[in-house]
Amino acid sequence: MIEILRYFGLPIDASADGFAIDEILGLVHWLMLILFIGWGTFFIYSLIRFRQRRNPVADHDGVKSHFSSVLELAVAIIEMVLLVGFAIPIWASRVNDVPESGNAVHIRVVAQQFAWNFHYPGPDGMFGLTEPSRVDEETNPIGLNRSSLGGADDIVTINQLHFPVNKRIRLDLSTKDVIHSVNLPEFRVKQDAIPGMTIPIHFEASMTSKDFIESLSGTARDTLPEIEKGFQIACAQLCGLGHYRMKGYVKVHDDAGFQAWLNEQAEYLEEEGDEDDWGDDDW
Ligand SMILES: [Cu+2]
């Protein structure tokens, strides 16, 4: 079923749930191929069967039986059953089952023209308050209140998303301005960010960035200059003039690597806090 996807240039599947999506993609493409051949054949048959030489005078009465109307109705009912009875419940059971903060690595994603802001709760596992009045595009793009409860140790990055492999990842997606869309093709994740809404999405990476980069050797992507940065985040909604440069990178660590990265970020925070002190190294 899935082999058909090889011809569509789909990126490698680096997600624990990706195979289910690929399976559906494969099924849909097979179904469309069958429909295309079926309707194409019918079209060519009709061209020959009703050619002018054989039907010199048009028949204004047309079809008299109700067979085609009944058929139409039957198709419509079957499609409704498929949609309401199967598609919506299956989608809800897979996607709506959002993990709680304790069962997943919880990260907030705040999209804006034209960058991705990532907000990590820090060692205490608690997000500090973000307030529109505190937004400063240079120093505090998400308006984080450092003195709010849980806010002091929060980590904020721009265009750089880090998370561990083989762990449930929960992203809470929001936007500061227009509609954007976070697209992580290798994890089979794509979700619009809608102004005024926070939309949770969840997935699990099955491959570290290191393994991913190795898997690309010898492929067309291998020659791209940014390849050493690994997985890319593309904005998948045309969101303005700078849409083309709304590009981020994902680094999937192993457990130890993710912890080391968190520690490194915590150190940076401390250094920033000491900024006003005299006697620092950069003196
Ligand atoms: Cu965008």
CA of 235 to the centre of ligand 1 (A): 5
Can you give the pLDDT at residue 274? Answer: 54
Residues 35 and 17 in one domain: yes
Using the mean position of ligand 1's atoms as its centre, give its distance from the Cα of residue 72 in Å: 41
Which pLDDT score is estimated for 2? Answer: 67
204 CA distance to ligand 1 middle (Å): 23
Domain that holds residue 9: 1-56
> To the nearest whole number, what is the mean pLDDT of the chain?
87
Residue with tokens 């960035």: 209
From 11-15, 91-95, 224-228, 262-266, the region with the lowest mean pLDDT: 224-228
| 175 Cα–ligand 1 center, Å | 9
- Indicate whether 161 and 258 sit together in one domain: yes
Instruction: Determine, yes or no, domain membership for 280.
Output: no
| Cα–Cα distance, 111 to 178 (Å, whole number) | 9
3 state SS of 240: coil
Give 112 Cα–ligand 1 centroid separation in angstroms: 7
Tell me the CA–centroid distance for residue 40 and ligand 1, in Å.
39
In a domain, 279, yes or no: no
pLDDT per residue as tens digits for the range 232-254? 898 999 999 999 989 899 999 99
Distance from C-alpha of 161 to C-alpha of 187, rounded to nearest angstrom:
13
